[in-house]
Amino acid sequence: MNLSLIIFITLHLIRPSSSKIFHGDHDHQTTCLNPFLDHQNSSLQDHILKLANHVETAAWIKKIRREIHEHPELAFEEIHTSSIIRRELEKMSIRYQWPVAKTGVVARVGSGLPPFVALRADMDALPIQEMVEWEHKSKIDGKMHACGHDAHVAMLLGAAKILKQLENELQGTVLLIFQPAEEQGEGAKQMIKEGVLDKVEAIFGLHLVLSSDTGVVASRSGDFLAGCGFFRAVIHGKGGHAAIPQDSIDPILAVSATIISLQHIVSREADPLDMPVVSVTMVDGGTGLNAIPDSVSIAGTYRAVSKKSFYALAERIKEVIKTQASVYRCSATVDFEGPIVSPTVNDERIYEHVVKVSAMIVGKQNIEVAPPIMGSEDFAFYLEKIPGAFAFLGMRDEKKAIIHSPHSPYYAVHEDVLPTGSALHAAFAYTYLLKTSTSVCGS
C-alpha cells in the first residue's frame, strides 16, 4: 500500500464530519475496504489524468465528438447519437438502459450497489446552419451542434472509459446519463419521470463555455443560472375607423402602456441584485393604416436567478398586463407557454466537493467563482430532486478563433479540453463514492 497516497486522499478529500454524507436507502452492509490500489506510486489525480490524456484515449474522445458533430439531431430525435453512445458502451462492456426519455441512454459502472452518484451529458443539437468551414462540418442542412452537446457526450464517454478501468476500486455505482432535449427544456424532466434518479444521492453536470479561458473551471454555490419562462398575451379592444377613435377601444394604446409598465417591474420593483429580466419580443396587431384593430398580441420572456424572484415575476407579469388592459377599457388573456425552466441552484456541499476535485485536475489557479448567469439549463430539474452541482469548463482561445458564443453559426469547440472534461467527470464520481463510503465507515 502507498502510504503517501493515503495521506494525500485524507488531507484533500475527506473532511471530518460529525454526520454522514450519505442519503441513500441502503439494503446491504458497507464493507470498509482499501479504496485505492498502488498505481506505480502515482497520486489519484495523476492516475486519472494519465488515463484521460493517454494518446489513444484523447484521440478517441475527439473522434467521437467529431462523428456526433457531423450528424446533429434535434430534441427527442437523437437516434443516431444514441446509437453511437450504445456502440461505444458495448465496446467497453458497460451495461446500459435504452431507450430512456425516448432517445436517452443511462449506463452504469461500478459495483451495482449503493451509493449511487450520477454524471450527466446532454445530446441534442440546434436548428442552425453551420457556417464554420472545416473537415467535420455538419452534414445535416439546417442543424448544428452549436452549444457543445457533442463535446459533452464525448467527455462523458471518456469518463466512462476511465471509470471502467477503475471499476474494481469504485465504492458504489456511477450512473452515466446521456440526456435528450436539453434545448427544449423537457429532457431532464422526462428522464426524472422515468426514474433515472431513483436511489441517486448526488449529480454533477459540466458545460463548455467561452466566458473562461481554456482549462478553467467556474461555478458557484447556490443560485447559479437563471430560470426561464415565456408568456403570450392578447389584449382585446374594439376595432373601428382610425378617424373616429372615440367609437373604438384601442388595444394598441393599451399594449403600448403595458410594454412600458412591464419594464417598470425590473427597474422599480425588483431587487437589482436578483438580476431579473422581462423582455417583450413580439408584437402583432393591425392590418390597415386607417383601422384600429380588435386585438393585439404580445409575447416575450422573463428570467431571474433566484427561485423566489423567478416565480414572483410570472405572477407580476400577468397582473400588470391585465391591469393595464383594464385601464384602457380593454380585456386581456395571459398564457405562460413553452417549457418553464427553473433556476439552477447548486448544493453547497456538492459544490465544495466539485471545487476540491477540480483543483486536483486543473490546479487551484484555474478555479473561478462564476457570477450568476442569465442563461438557463434544464439540469436545474435534477437539482430540485437531489443534491448536485453544475460547472463550466472554459475553452476560450482567441489565437484559435474559439471565441463565438453558443448558438452562433460560427461556434467552435476547443477539442484539447475534452480529456480534461472526462477527467473532471471521473474524478468527481470516484471521489464522491470514496468520500461517502469512508464517511459511513467512520460514523
Torsion of CA 118, 165, 433, 90, to 10 degrees: 30
Q: Is 425 annotated as a binding residue?
A: no
Q: Is 12 annotated as a binding residue?
A: no
Q: What gap in Å lies between CA 248 and CA 238, rounded to an integer?
A: 5
Q: Which residue has the cell 462523428?
A: 67
Q: What gap in Å lies between CA 284 and CA 185, rounded to an integer?
A: 26
**Residue 240, exposed/middle/buried by CB under 10 A (0-12, 13-18, 19+)?**
middle
Q: What gap in Å lies between CA 363 and CA 358, rounded to an integer?
A: 7
Residues 6+ apart with CB under 8 A from 114: 24, 25, 26, 27, 28, 172, 173, 199, 201
Q: What gap in Å lies between CA 284 and CA 126, rounded to an integer?
A: 26
Q: Is 147 annotated as a binding residue?
A: yes
Q: Is 28 annotated as a binding residue?
A: no
State how far the alpha carbon of 155 is from the alpha carbons of 121, 274, 379, in Å.
8, 33, 17
Q: Is 149 annotated as a binding residue?
A: yes
Q: What gap in Å lies between CA 379 and CA 121, rounded to an integer?
A: 10
Q: What gap in Å lies between CA 204 and CA 218, rounded to an integer?
A: 13
Annotated binding site: 147, 149, 183, 207, 407
Q: What are the binding residues for Mn(2+)?
A: 147, 149, 183, 207, 407
